[in-house]
Amino acid sequence: MCGIIGYTGHRPALPIVLEGLEHLEYRGYDSAGVGYVLNKELTVVRTKGKLKNLRDAVSTTGSALTVTCAIGHTRWATHGIPEERNAHPHVCADKSLAIVHNGIIENYLEIKEELLAAGYSFYSDTDTEVLVNLIHFLRAKENDLLGAFSKALARANGTYAVCLIDVSNPGTLYAARKSAPLILGRGVGESFIASDVPAFLAYTREVVFLEDGEILVAEPEKHTIYRIADGCTVKRSSQLIQWGMQAAQKGGYRHFMLKEIFEQPRVLKDCLTGRINAQGNIVLPELENVAPPNRIHIIACGTSYHAGLWGQHLLEDLAQIPVSVEIASEFRYKERFLPDKNDLVLVISQSGETADTLAALERAKKEKIATLGLCNVVGSSLAREADTVIYTQAGPEISVASTKAMTSQMLMLCTLALFFARKKGLIDKRQRTLAKTLSSLAVLLEAQLPNMHRRAQSLARKYAEARSFFYLGRGHCFPLALEGALKLKELSYIHAEGYAAGEMKHGPIALIDSAFPTFVLAMNDSLYPKIRSNVVEIQSREGHIIALTNPETDIDVDDRWEIPRIIDPLQAFLILPCLQLFSYEMADFLGKDVDQPRNLAKSVTVE
């Protein structure tokens, strides 16, 4: 949530900062701003709304071209409504410091009271303005910015990533993080600080990951990392990002979301590379020394949570390991967590920066339970904190709505189930067929996607006027129904609920009438007769139905959408793209902002 960029180097900084913000806009887009020092004075430009407004307001010509150090921010509001006065950067009382911030300073009201008593005034509703004034207040006492910055951060509770500039030292960026991402990009004679790599990927692939409890001081030619606790410097080597700028661009697609849906065959291929050996066995070197656990506790949020629910079916069925799946924001505060010492906590997160998921991971670690992270972002907090990490290798996912990341998570959960099954000596003929079918999924999906897209388009036009939708499934299709409903509501703002089909008659069916359609996942599997009966119950109440089904079924509904039958539960890899494409087409047809839906942000770094 919120995107931060800072640049110091030999090039005009403002175009670089604006370009960086464009790549970070997925993190928040209700207001934006830049700050820089020109002629020994701090200049801050902030606008409400999308980045385009900021672009129109910021001059990048004339004397602005001589600015070679600047900070920028794109906001997802936490404290204070999206207005210019709440946008970042925020400046301190005498306009000597400007700061951009991602996260929440939980004790800001208490600090604000103290600063008000000391004569400070505030012009925004934000916690950020309090922080920059606290730094100013502490610096006034000692005339030492680094010391004041450290003390202010030590005082701040909550989560943050911040980047600060100082009028008296205009070519230097000061930055720190706590449970929110912040990365240094090292170029030749230039330094970048950003919430995410795409912000500076056009200039450098060399990165240094900052840790909690550290302060980074970045100048064009060098950078220094200090430990807040004792002021000592920290040596950290840089890493090379393996993917390039192309991966973070639309590549001719109308939206990132569409591109990412169509990338799924490639993602399936990449995720499986090196994971199946010549004997057809799953290889997970990350877990070679880990014994199959007695129980697995899966913890995640949103789409990753749905992937976890789907994975539960496989782990229980194939590896015969009991699994619980919990929403991270619930798990982190539950009164009792009673794990066994041979349990495994599996945290799933595309970004690896979701605040609730990280807190859940921390809780599991406190209980001294082995933790495994399933994560897409190399160097993310989750990847660094979990005992073991398996990367999902979906590549950068830019669209706020998660698509290819879920596919990659499901694939890795499937390999995990097969891996533990082998370790427990449970591999049978069905499991061998599953492993074999995994390798053919990419080709199958690639061939199906154009048809799926066309069908999604025509159905979206027919159902675009609906104000509510049910999504129904049973067994391993139930989590997919939840995900279908989530996608529809987040993209098209149409109310949608995912239900286990058998639950309908326990209440929800009361809502059904001719204006309340249902999207049913009716695969030709052992539960097909059950779901067909549920469909008839809905039809008896004049409900209209779209049924995603296989050619072999006899389900008679308003709209049959046929996809080829493949072995369960791998059918999910064809179901999920249909659900994604339907939501995409609904939203696009209704003129919604597909890649940046209202009120959302890609990376939820606040709780």
Q: Which residues bind ligand M6R (CB under 6 A)?
A: 301-304, 349-351, 354, 357, 400-402, 490, 604
Strand pairing of 97-105 and 90-91? antiparallel
Decide whether 24 or 92 has the Cβ nearer to ligand M6R: 24
* Residue 90: its H or E element: strand 90-91
* Residue 477: its H or E element: helix 477-492
Distance CA 43, CA 72 (A): 12
Q: Tell me, yes or no, if 2 is annotated catalytic.
A: yes
Distance CA 430, CA 19 (A): 51
Nearest residue to 413 via CA among 372, 377, 449 = 372
Decide whether 400 or 438 has the Cβ nearer to ligand M6R: 400
Decide whether 272 or 587 has the Cβ nearer to ligand M6R: 587
Residues 6+ apart with CB under 8 A from 520: 471, 472, 473, 501, 531, 534, 535, 545, 546, 547, 548, 555, 557
Written as one letter, the residue type at 101 is H
Decide whether 403 or 518 has the Cβ nearer to ligand M6R: 403
Cα 224 to the center of its chain, rounded Å: 29
Rounded to a whole number of angstroms, the minimum distance from the CB of residue 496 to ligand M6R is 13
Rounded to a whole number of angstroms, the minimum distance from the CB of residue 75 to ligand M6R is 18
Cα(first)–Cα(last) distance of the chain, in Å?
Answer: 11
Q: Tell me, yes or no, if 69 is annotated catalytic.
A: no
Decide whether 511 or 600 has the Cβ nearer to ligand M6R: 600
Rounded to a whole number of angstroms, the minimum distance from the CB of residue 380 to ligand M6R is 9
Distance CA 461, CA 495 (A): 17
Is there a contact between 578 and 412 (Cβ–Cβ < 8 Å)?
no
Rounded to a whole number of angstroms, the minimum distance from the CB of residue 267 to ligand M6R is 15
CA angle 476, 362, 287 (to 5 degrees): 60
List own/partner pairs for 382-390 with CB under 8 A and 24 or more apart. Answer: 382/347, 382/349, 382/352, 382/353, 382/354, 382/357, 382/358, 383/352, 384/209, 384/211, 385/358, 385/361, 386/347, 386/361, 388/286, 388/287, 388/290, 389/286, 390/284, 390/286, 390/287, 390/416
Decide whether 319 or 480 has the Cβ nearer to ligand M6R: 480
Distance CA 348, CA 407 (A): 13
The residue at minimum Cβ distance from ligand M6R is: 302
Rounded to a whole number of angstroms, the minimum distance from the CB of residue 296 to ligand M6R is 18
Kindly name the residue from 112, 178, 259, 602 that is annotated as catalytic. Answer: 602
Distance CA 127, CA 374 (A): 32
Rounded to a whole number of angstroms, the minimum distance from the CB of residue 553 to ligand M6R is 29
Rounded to a whole number of angstroms, the minimum distance from the CB of residue 354 to ligand M6R is 3
Decide whether 127 or 490 has the Cβ nearer to ligand M6R: 490
Kindly name the residue from 2, 69, 271, 414 that is annotated as catalytic. Answer: 2
Is there a contact between 110 and 69 (Cβ–Cβ < 8 Å)?
no
The catalytic site residues sit at 2, 602
